[in-house]
Chain A
Amino acid sequence: MRFGTTEEQRDFAAALHDLLQRVDVPTVARAWASDDTGPGEKLWGSLAELGLPALLVDEEHGGIGAGAVDLVVAFGVLGRHAVPGPWVESAAFAPVLLRGVDGAGDLLSSLSEGRLRVAAAVEELAPRAGDVRGADLALLVRGTEVHRATVGAHYTSVDATRTPADLVPAAALGDAGPEVARAVDHAALATAAQVLGAGQRMLADAVGYVCVRTQFGRPVGEFQAVKHLLADVKVALEFAAPLVHGAALALDAGAADATRAVSAAKVAATDAAWLSARTALQVHGAVGYTLEHDLSLWFTKVRALSSAWGTQDFHRRRVLDALLSAASAR
């Protein structure tokens, strides 16, 4: 029995992490938020060189043909660094969706080369696309029908790096059949991994802060009320992580309970990350309540992503429905 990442996967995570350490991602994210997408596009290119958008594209179309476990490893790192841009749509959703569409080979090739950023909306899940900024292609999914779309009205997200927008169908691309559901599962799971990474980052930063901020003549991290808040965050994050890994294994194995596993992971990762966000805000005090402090980047992202690719209610319902229809729950 083995339940955990391989050395190769840990090396991949380390390579992504090293790259993102060298870039000042918060500055890139702030630029992206103010519509200066140049630095973000450059970062996109660097991540593409490491193979990020090619992970789920098959080798025939220039991709790597890796699986969901590799995907969640990567998205954990993206979350940790608050990388902006429609990564979930481009590296998790579209590659799986377009597999099911005849004649989408060119799109897959462009995706894997990092030349295509995708905005996407699945009508059953959400009334609009979550993020259209910097996107070259917009896809609207109705039932199992995939359409090219044009971008309609824009909205403002609590996460300033995201631009939600309405999509208007333009031309039919084809029927993606069962790949629609699989693509949604991959997108939801990548989102779960991303918020979990963000939650881990906020905990690390909160721990760092309470060790240096002194009041009453001592680091505030000495106060037990502060300690116990942070301990609870650690517990929540530690126990959400294996659900994300387990769901990725289930997706890769094509397991019958994969959808249930994805939803369970999304629920737990979102709750844990949001607890981390709230706690980080609390233990930072007023400075955490400023846009200027980088905590705001992760905080607002987790808030926005908590309903992306299925609300908590949607995923809880899916878990329960799966449990009730299964002959045995395990």
Chain B
Amino acid sequence: MTLELSAEEEAFRDEARTWLRANSPGRLPSMDSAEGAVAHRAWEASLAAAGWSVVSWPVEYGGRGASLTEWVLFEEEYYLAGCPTRIAQNGISLLAPIILEHGTPEQRQAYLSSMADGSVVWAQAWSEPEAGSDLAGIRARAERDEDRGGWVLNGQKTWSSRAAFADRGFGLFRSDPDAQRHAGLTYFLFPLDADGIVVRPIEQLDGDAGFAEIFFSDVFVPDSDVLGGVGDGWRVAMSTAGNERGLSLRSPGRFCAAADRLVDLWRERGEAVASVRDAVVDAWIRAEAYRLYTWQTVTHVQAGGSVGAEGSLNKIFWSELDVDLHETALELLGADQELRGPGAPAEGSWVDDHLFALAGPIYAGTNQIQRNIVAERVLGLPRGDSGRAR
């Protein structure tokens, strides 16, 4: 494909390719297990040491100040080299952009470098038992403690990815009890081992403790750990939602690499399961479409445009592609498709990745919510019975 890369961009890609192919550890044990978390942190540390952990960040926090184009190139190379999933992901893609934009100089100093090298892993604590799709229904509260110069947190968060093995959390709390819904929320940063916090791991469909409930009873957080303005939490948080759905959460590299592996699987087993031929082709075409769509978005952003509600198109597309692609692989595995672990084809990685993919249409705003957003904000259909599009 003719992307008209500049000499500098090509040099960047080649350097990334060389390093990643030489250093990729391949698949590691699940990052949602104690053993896997350790291995993934070590991988983050070696990425960071070589300057590949957060290429798009400013140099002073461990980045390379890479352009958006270079970031996408890096991501392509990362997955083509078979590198592992990123345990630091939610910090890097959801929290860091906010710290860079809304954080104080002290917060940037304190939190960015340690996030980049995997020594401090962050968990996102937004959802609550009664606030899922309707996130503005948050009930966990923050009360002012003037004497100590901070806030006292109480309540419950849930479904917090990697909280079982993470060090710190970031979340939204109701700081003004009289305010409704989107108003009166504040964005807090806190250590997960603070006094008054109890983390209860929850086993996901794949059997690992991939997310957790977090209980807060009288947890003190100093003013210095308020991110953005008091009462401004919704606006601050939504600037990460845009990031999450738009470009940063799932780069095309991941799906292109998976589609290429699917073609290889067809090569091995296609004759036996001819009925899925079209699904193999379509998965590859969709991954390619996602790749080119991303380049189109990058071109748009580099020309000064922004990604607004269109990020929802993206989220629907990659999450459904991911499920379909892996279900096609399972079809190709025939009766082996239920096997996990040792003795299973590819050590069960197709099954594991399928289970992982199944969550995609749920997290980061369910695909029903994304369709509401596309219909109302992209197509301009009248609001009505679909609730406030998040």
Contacts and interface: CB of A to CB of B under 8 A. Distances in A.
A264 B381 contact: no
Interface string A290-330: 00000000000000000000000000100110011000111
Determine chain A's interface SS by DSSP, over half rule: helix
Interface stretch (A94-102, A129-137, A249-257): A249-257
B259 A329 contact: yes
B2 A255 contact: yes
B170 to A, nearest CB: 30
Contact of A231 (B1, B290, B375): B375
Interface stretch (A1-9, A26-34, A39-47, A146-154): A1-9
Contacts of B260: 328-330
Contacts of B289: 239-240, 242-243, 264, 268
Contact of A4 (B277, B300, B371): B300
B342 interface: no
B256 interface: yes
B277 A253 contact: no
B299 A235 contact: no
Interface stretch (B42-50, B122-130, B280-288, B327-335): B280-288
A172 interface: no
B285 A211 contact: no
A29 B277 CA distance: 38
Contacts of A2: 4, 299
A239 B375 contact: no
Given A240-B289, A329-B284, A1 B3 contact: yes
Contact of A316 (B256, B277, B300, B376): B277
Contact of A221 (B263, B374, B382): B382
B292 A324 contact: no
A253 B9 CA distance: 20
B317 interface: yes
Contacts of A320: 266, 277, 280-281
B277 A238 contact: no
B296 interface: yes
A283 to B, nearest CB: 11
Interface in A218-242: 218-219, 221-224, 226-228, 230-232, 234-235, 238-242
A261 interface: yes
Given A1-B3, A234-B379, A319 B317 contact: no
Contact of B295 (A1, A235, A319): A1
A234 B378 contact: yes
A235 to B, nearest CB: 5
| Tier of interface size on chain A | 35 or more
Contacts of A238: 293, 310, 313
Contacts of A210: 381
B5 to A, nearest CB: 6
B56 to A, nearest CB: 15
A236 to B, nearest CB: 9
A136 to B, nearest CB: 36
Name which of B9, B284, B292 has the most chain A CB atoms within 10 A of its CB.
B292
| Most interface-central of B4, B289, B368 (chain A CB within 10 A) | B289
A235 B313 contact: yes
A4 B299 contact: yes
Contact of B3 (A3, A224, A235): A3
A1 B1 contact: no
B385 interface: yes
Contact of B286 (A232, A239, A253, A255): A239
Contact of B298 (A3, A203, A250): A3
Nearest to B370: A231
A223 B385 contact: yes
Contacts of B380: 207, 211
B292 A245 contact: yes
A1 B281 contact: no
Contacts of A324: 263, 266-267
A222 to B, nearest CB: 3
Contacts of A239: 286, 289-290, 293, 313, 317
Contacts of A323: 263, 281, 284
Nearest to B72: A1
B69 interface: yes
B295 A242 contact: yes
A261 B313 contact: no
B368 A1 contact: no
A328 B17 CA distance: 15
B285 A224 contact: no
Contacts of A257: 1
Interface of B: 1-6, 9, 69, 80, 256, 259-260, 263, 266-267, 277-278, 280-282, 284-286, 288-290, 292-293, 295-296, 298-300, 302, 310, 313, 316-317, 368, 370-372, 374-376, 378-386
Interface of A: 1-4, 203, 207, 210-211, 218-219, 221-224, 226-228, 230-232, 234-235, 238-243, 245-246, 249-250, 252-253, 255, 257, 261, 264, 267-268, 316, 319-320, 323-324, 328-330
21 contacts: A1-B9, A3-B296, A3-B298, A4-B299, A203-B379, A222-B384, A226-B381, A228-B372, A231-B372, A234-B379, A235-B374, A239-B293, A243-B289, A246-B288, A250-B1, A261-B1, A267-B281, A316-B281, A320-B277, A323-B263, A328-B260
